Structure 1
Amino acid sequence: MIVDTHTHVFTNDRMTYPQFADTPRAGTIPSISDIGQEPWPETTAEKLIAQMDAAGVDKATLVQAYFVYEYDNRYTVDSANAYPDRFVSICALDPAAPESPDKLSNLVENAGVKGIRFMRGRLPKCTLGDPETHALWKRIAELKIPLCIHDKVEELPRVRALLERYPEINVAFDHGWGHKVGEPPYPMIKALFDLAIFPNAYVKTAINNIVAAREGVGTPQIFYTKLIESFGAHRIMWSSNYPAHPHFGSIASRLEVAKKALAFLSSDEQAWIFGRTALRVWPWLAG
């Protein structure tokens, strides 16, 4: 089974699902881009399923499209609930807001949400391990759901104490840390490798990590060897990050790049990275 652990969905139905940051409308010339990057193609749940089927991807996690809807999780949740045989939903909430723990409980208990993502996003003054976030960490542990973290690599040490305090929370560090990885032995992202000592720390990788690994004197083989030596394949997960960074193409093309880059690994290691690790973190996907 192949599982894509990081996809986003959004729709041009702005009446039902108003957008926080307006995306280009279907049939128009794109003029508003995602945080200064390329405009995302409209990706409804149905369009995402078509992409997955073309790529041979069985399941996916729907990660809240923060830069489209911010903390309005309705379209992500509705999409996952409409296709429970293909998706689980991962919401986004303000990690420092005092009302977020109760909002998360409602989403998990009444809307079927199976994870939460901490986004630095528009919170430059808040580090995701700050005391203001501790109440939400505690609630995540009580609800027994995974946590995904998207933060600046230099801020990752700030969550070490929470990883130790809540060993029952599986924490997946998103591909965002690896837009640049530097050259071997990768001192630029040492803060990520340092977290490998925690058995509840996981890593999501995406095509941007593979591209970054090719820069300088590095190669994907050197980079992923280091990653596996640190975390083990059973704590690494593949993701397409579709539809972000549209120049990387379809889910099928992103998967093909990943398979070629990781072809040097054993079949068992590849099985973990392309599916089994995801089922370990999100067992609900097993169906």
Structure 2
Amino acid sequence: MPSQIVDIHPHIISTDTSTYPRAPLFGNQSTWSQERPTTPEQLLQAMDDAGVAKAAIVQASTCYGFDNSYVADAVARYPERFTGVFSVDMVAADAAERIHHWVGRKLTGLRLFTSGSTIVGQAPGLADPRSFAAWDCAVGLGLPVVVQMRTQGMPELQVLLQRYPGATIIIDHMFNAPLDAGPPYAAAEPLFRLVDHPNVYLKLTSVIVRNSHKGLATPESFFRRVVSEFGASRIAWGSNFPATPGSMPELLQEARSALAWASAEDQAWIFGGTAEKLYPALRTEVNA
């Protein structure tokens, strides 16, 4: 099992708005992207401070929308440390063409942003039939598809799971499920219903880690169930740096503390092994 630590959910934001103009999805730029811009070099320094070897940079949809240039430029500059996860307008007539374009820029994952800090609830259209051509393209290229969504979107996710049983799908922030009511975590039941879909992976980020400390929830009671049911090889850590306040070492330590009860093997999967399976470009031997 690889020992390197890999982060599959950091973001980068440039202060150069001429070269990289703002174009946030749904028209509102996120507060965090305004307050905490982070260059690739600053991300690398944060990773080095935390002992993180590599990262899959996730497109900041609430800042750049479908223009993935900043992520692609960072990957081109530091291919030994980064890969990238891009976004496209899935219902656009040229969606498949745009997917091929960003894959040609060496980005290796696709992200759908249907909920988040600038959206109230769950945006409709996750399984819009107009998006199927883009899904066909992504699945044909073997791209992992990251979905940021709430549990309200489960009916549409089920449509996609039935139509694309071979797609690799990663759930951002474990739906950002509210956990404060504590065990048995009824609000997270839609998440656990995905156990029977072996092509579905979960992203364990600072968002869900901090949720697991609220109210009657505890990290061990929630994550022990998640790891037990899904298996560590279907779970990967992501910092959400700099969207979540805190330094990279702090965010990594929070996640490590939340999983302190887990075996060394399970932790190796969550903090590196699963990431390398999802994003082969991040494997140690690729850039050795």
Taking structure 2 as the reference length, the TM-score comes to 0.89
Q: Is contact 1:201-1:235 (8 Å) kept?
A: yes
Q: Is contact 1:6-1:60 (8 Å) kept?
A: yes
Gaps of 5+ in 2: none
Q: Tell me the equivalent position of 1:112.
A: 106
Q: Tell me the equivalent position of 1:19.
A: 22
Task: Provide the identity percentage.
Answer: 35
Paired residue type of 1:224 = F
For the pair 1:58 / 2:43, whether they are aligned, the reply is no
Q: Tell me the equivalent position of 2:228.
A: 229
In the alignment, the residues of structure 2 paired with residue 125 and residue 254 of structure 1 have an alpha-carbon distance, to the nearest angstrom, of: 28
Shift of 1:264: 0.4
For the pair 1:253 / 2:250, whether they are aligned, the reply is yes
Q: Tell me the equivalent position of 1:265.
A: 262
Q: Is contact 2:174-2:202 (8 Å) kept?
A: no
Q: Is contact 1:164-1:198 (8 Å) kept?
A: no
* Correspondence for 1:7 among 2, 6, 10: 10
In the alignment, the residues of structure 2 paired with residue 94 and residue 126 of structure 1 have an alpha-carbon distance, to the nearest angstrom, of: 14
In the alignment, the residues of structure 2 paired with residue 255 and residue 50 of structure 1 have an alpha-carbon distance, to the nearest angstrom, of: 14
Q: How many residues are paired up?
A: 273
Secondary structure, aligned partner of 1:7? coil
Paired residue type of 2:236 = M
Q: Tell me the equivalent position of 2:136.
A: 138
Shift of 1:229: 2.0
Q: Is contact 2:148-2:171 (8 Å) kept?
A: yes
Q: Is contact 1:146-1:172 (8 Å) kept?
A: yes
Q: Tell me the equivalent position of 1:29.
A: none
Q: Is contact 2:179-2:217 (8 Å) kept?
A: no
* Pair 1:176–1:99, CA change in 2 (3 A): farther
* Pair 1:195–1:40, CA change in 2 (3 A): farther
Q: Is contact 1:205-1:237 (8 Å) kept?
A: yes
RMSD of the TM alignment (CA)? 1.9
Secondary structure, aligned partner of 1:61? strand
Gaps of 5+ in 1: 22-32
* Correspondence for 1:157 among 155, 178, 183: 155
Shift of 1:34: 5.1
In the alignment, the residues of structure 2 paired with residue 158 and residue 181 of structure 1 have an alpha-carbon distance, to the nearest angstrom, of: 23
* Pair 1:84–1:10, CA change in 2 (3 A): same
Shift of 1:167: 2.9
Secondary structure, aligned partner of 2:52? coil
For the pair 1:147 / 2:145, whether they are aligned, the reply is yes
* Pair 1:180–1:200, CA change in 2 (3 A): same
For the pair 1:99 / 2:98, whether they are aligned, the reply is no
